[in-house]
Amino acid sequence: MRAVVIRKFGGPETVELVETAVPEPGPGQVRIKVAAAAVNPVDVAYRAGVLVPLPEDGLLGLGWDVAGTVDAVGAEAPYAAGTDVVALAYGPAPVKAQAEYVVVDASAVAPAPASVDAVHASTVPLNSLTAAQALDLPALAPGSTLLVTGAAGAVGGYAVQLAHRAGIEVTGVAGPADEALVRSFGADGFLRRGEEAGLFDAVLDAAVVGADALAYVRDGGDYVGVIPHAGPPSVRDIRVQVVEVAADGERLATLVALVDQGVLTPRVAGTYPLEEAGRAHTRLTEGGVRGRLVLIP
């Protein structure tokens, strides 16, 4: 089968398509025939050598988001072949989701949404789980105020929608051209990047603004970052936390249900065949992408 990997760190030119053996599921695992796999900033970070070292065998697979069909199961895996699913392919491995087949733990899998195609479904796992788990950290009550940076992006957009559903008064930060989009997610307020504003109970920093975002948090409030181990130093008794997304099929199933209810909006910015993964990396690096770029085997 074909799989997208890197053998060395660097730019989009390091992204390769290789032939490799079809993986076999072990106990508690499922093998998914991939229909679509999203490209995320974490893939860029892997490629650049920011997050993990190259494994001893020299191959590091790319792809965290997958939508497809279960085609083989290991012992005690609670899925049947032929089931349409989405999953988070968490952590480093020689083969990940950007491939023709991927093996994941069954605990990372959820039934696919019925209301969208596989391309859109593939944009759900990583970004919606990151948004939901980030919103868990400040434990905001209904009526609390929240500022979301990068509110037009994939994580930020889901965060605005989830916060709005929870009764939180949410304001989104993005470029001026994105105001209508951010308000369509349910944002009560909108700020242009760099615009001054009052103080909020919490900031969810999906745009990775860092220390500058603390200026929007009230004394003793919450800052939540999305890059593990990379939160800014605390000031004014602000509680600084960062989310490290965890694979959670049960939570993912609840988020998929919200897609089918129209609460969450998967967005696709473009599609590429698997052999053009490097082009997708180049486009993502250029910035300004609204929605996810998706690879199709």
The pLDDT, as a whole number, for residue 11 is 95
Instruction: Give pLDDT tens digits for 230-270.
Output: 899 999 999 999 999 999 999 999 999 999 999 999 999 99
Q: What are residue 205's DSSP bridge partners? A: 149, 225
Q: In terms of domains, do 115 and 192 share one?
A: no
More confident residue, 28 or 229: 28
Q: Where residue 31 sits, what CATH number does that domain have?
A: 3.90.180.10
pLDDT band at 56 (very low <50, low <70, confident <90, very high): confident
In a domain, 166, yes or no: yes
Average pLDDT over residues 70-87: 96
Q: In terms of domains, do 151 and 100 share one?
A: no
In a domain, 12, yes or no: yes
Inter-residue long-range contacts of 69-72, CB under 8 Å, 24+ positions, other chains counted: 69/32, 69/33, 69/35, 70/30, 70/31, 70/32, 70/33, 70/109, 71/31, 71/32, 71/33, 71/101, 72/24, 72/25, 72/30, 72/31
How many Å from the N-terminal Cα to the C-terminal Cα in the chain? 10
Average pLDDT over residues 38-54: 92
In a domain, 257, yes or no: no
Q: In terms of domains, do 103 and 132 share one?
A: no
In the listed set 207, 226, 242, which residue is the last one of a domain according to the structure? 242
Residue 126 CB partners (closer than 8 Å, separation 6+):
38, 40, 42, 64, 65, 88, 245
Tell the residue number behind the tokens 């697979």, with chain if given.
61
The pLDDT, as a whole number, for residue 230 is 87
Q: In terms of domains, do 215 and 286 share one?
A: no
Burial call 239-260: b when 16+ CB within 10 Å, e when fewer: ebebbebebbbebbeebbebbe
Q: Specify the DSSP class assigned to residue 99.
A: B
Q: In terms of domains, do 7 and 120 share one?
A: yes
Written as one string, the DSSP assignment of 182-208 is HHHTT-SEEEETT-----EEEEEETT-
Q: In terms of domains, do 173 and 99 share one?
A: no
Q: In terms of domains, do 150 and 116 share one?
A: no
Q: In terms of domains, do 12 and 51 share one?
A: yes
Q: Where residue 136 sits, what CATH number does that domain have?
A: 3.40.50.720
The pLDDT, as a whole number, for residue 157 is 98
Q: In terms of domains, do 152 and 178 share one?
A: yes
Domain that includes residue 132, residue range: 127-242
In a domain, 101, yes or no: yes
In a domain, 9, yes or no: yes
The pLDDT, as a whole number, for residue 20 is 96
- At residue 90, the 3 state secondary structure works out as coil
| 272 closest CA partner among 297, 237, 245, 239 | 297
Percentage of residues of the chain with pLDDT beyond 90: 93
Q: Considering its fold, how many domains does the chain have in total?
A: 2
Instruction: Give pLDDT tens digits for 90-100.
Output: 999 999 999 99
Average pLDDT over residues 83-94: 96
On whether the CB atoms of residues 285 and 117 are closer than 8 A, the answer is no
The pLDDT, as a whole number, for residue 206 is 97
**Of the given ranges (74-78, 159-163, 236-240), which has the lowest mean pLDDT?**
74-78
In a domain, 46, yes or no: yes
CA distance 162 to 200: 17
Residue 53 has pLDDT above 80, yes or no: yes
In a domain, 254, yes or no: no
CA dist list (Å): 170 to 40, 210, 219, 225 = 25, 19, 18, 16
Please, what is the average pLDDT of the chain? 96
Alpha helix locations (H) across the chain? 41-48, 118-121, 125-136, 154-165, 179-184, 249-260, 277-286
Q: In terms of domains, do 182 and 143 share one?
A: yes
Q: In terms of domains, do 7 and 119 share one?
A: yes
Q: In terms of domains, do 152 and 77 share one?
A: no
| 61 closest CA partner among 33, 106, 103, 122 | 103
**Of the given ranges (24-28, 39-43, 163-167, 286-290), which has the lowest mean pLDDT?**
286-290
In a domain, 256, yes or no: no
Residue 61 has pLDDT above 90, yes or no: yes
On whether the CB atoms of residues 172 and 182 are closer than 8 A, the answer is yes
CA distance 152 to 191: 12
pTM of the model: 0.96
